[in-house]
A = this chain, B = another copy of it.
């Protein structure tokens, strides 16, 4: 169950409205790595969790905070939109270049659709979608997804921090940056904890029997481009992070196998198939004959 308190975790009011910035801020509300994404992602990981205890508590504990971040950003955006221009613009922009930038730079749906309100979309107006989130049931994979989400998210907030001079906005972003610092650190710590405890290991999924994979290519760097410097990295020699092998470098991909012959599906799908004739491909011809004779 979720309970709501009509307070915000941190002050979320701009010094003054700025509809162009409101549009930009949508990215960290409703974008691929916005707050809706992390709130939903941690929620689904918790609801789908197969083990109770500290890891699930962690997901619930942070996930609920993120719903509060969704709220802070939505409230901030609504205030940034308070003076969004709604009038005819032709005459106005002639004498006011700033207005021209506003007209061009704002999300027009903020006014037309939401009446100066926040929306569940990114900074280009693409609606948030469920395919942004990851919840696989494997916590080592999912915590890596979480670490990535918090990194991308903090990176975007840092960029947005430099795109405004508004002290109210910067104050909120300063708070969000710190929380993203925490969450990055937290998921990285949790990844270590999972392996330290032996709950999960590398490579993901670690309980799949290694002898069922083709082990001789499991630690080879095979170079499909002609840059030669990739052999200089830790991924090209030395022990592998999963502790099961040694990296090797293969400068030229070994020869492959020939393409298999093209399949010949049912002729009633009307695909283009070889013509019958002296070079007749009998399998296709027989199929066609069989299928059409009884039709």
A293 at the interface (CB under 8 A from B): no
A 263-293 to B, binary, CB cutoff 8 A, 1 in contact else 0: 1111111111111000000001000000000
User: Which of the four size classes fits the interface of chain A?
Assistant: 35 or more
Considering the chains assembled together, what is the distance between the CA atoms of A56 and B145 in angstroms? 22
Is there contact, CB below 8 Å, between A275 and B199? yes
Contact of A112 among B105, B123, B214, B259 (CB under 8 A): B123
Which residues from B are CB-within-8-Å of A54?
229-233
- A293, chain B: closest CB distance, angstroms: 13
Q: Is the CB of B124 within 8 A of A136?
A: no
- In the complex, which residues of chain B have a beta carbon less than 8 angstroms from the beta carbon of A215? 178
Q: Are A93 and B98 in contact (CB under 8 A)?
A: yes
Interface centre among A133, A140, A227, A257 (most CB of B within 10 A): A227
A115: chain B residues at CB < 8 Å are: 48, 136-138, 155, 159, 265, 269-271
A74 CB within 8 Å of chain B: yes
Contact B182 A220 (CB under 8 A): yes
Q: Which chain B positions have C-beta within 8 A of A44? A: 74, 117-120
